Amino acid sequence: MIHFALKCDQGHSFESWFQSSEAFDKLLAAGMVSCSVCGSPSVEKALMAPRVQTGRDKPLSKPASEAEQAIAELRRKVEESATYVGGNFAKEARAIHEGEKPDRPIYGEARPEEARALIEDGVPVLPLPFSAGRKTN
């Protein structure tokens, strides 16, 4: 796993983990990387210093920023009150919106084009500032 500092064309900075540098490049080329703040697909790697920790070093115990704390609280609330539907998010959201399935809060993953189609069709969705954290393999 590799940790990258990223920035979007709107000037937002954020960080994310990828399986490898090649995996990042492949996901970026496929339009699967977007800004966690505004959703812009124009993302690039930012300058970042490597983090090296030896066995003698003690881990830093700085408290998380207010933004990190707010995101963690949002994640906790979402996971506690909504059903995880994984990659079926777009299909489930549309079915709920059209009354084919019972109304309930859900969360999961959708490809950018699926999310755009939902928004264009008036389905009330929004990106979350975190990934589901579920294993997919």
pLDDT digits (tens, 9 = 90+) for 52-95: 665 555 555 455 688 888 888 888 999 999 999 999 999 999 99
Under 8 Å between Cβ of 35 and 8: yes
Q: Is residue 50 part of a domain?
A: no
Q: In this predicted structure, what is the pLDDT of residue 133?
A: 61
Say if residue 75 is in the same domain as residue 114.
yes
Q: Residue 90: inside a domain, yes or no?
A: yes
Number of domains forming the structure of the chain: 2
Domain assignment present for 129: no
Q: Which residue would you say has higher pLDDT here, 46 or 134?
A: 46
* Burial of residue 22, with CB atoms counted within 10 A of its CB: 0-12 exposed, 13-18 middle, 19 or more buried: exposed
Q: Of the spans 30-39, 40-49, 96-105, 125-134, which averages the highest pLDDT?
A: 96-105
Any domain includes 54: no
- pTM exceeds cut of 0.85: no
Asked if 70 and 114 sit in the same domain, the reply is yes
**Residue ranges making up the domain that contains 99:** 66-120
Is residue 52 assigned to a domain? no
Whether 136 is covered by a domain: the verdict is no
Residues 26 and 42: their CA atoms lie apart, in Å, by: 14
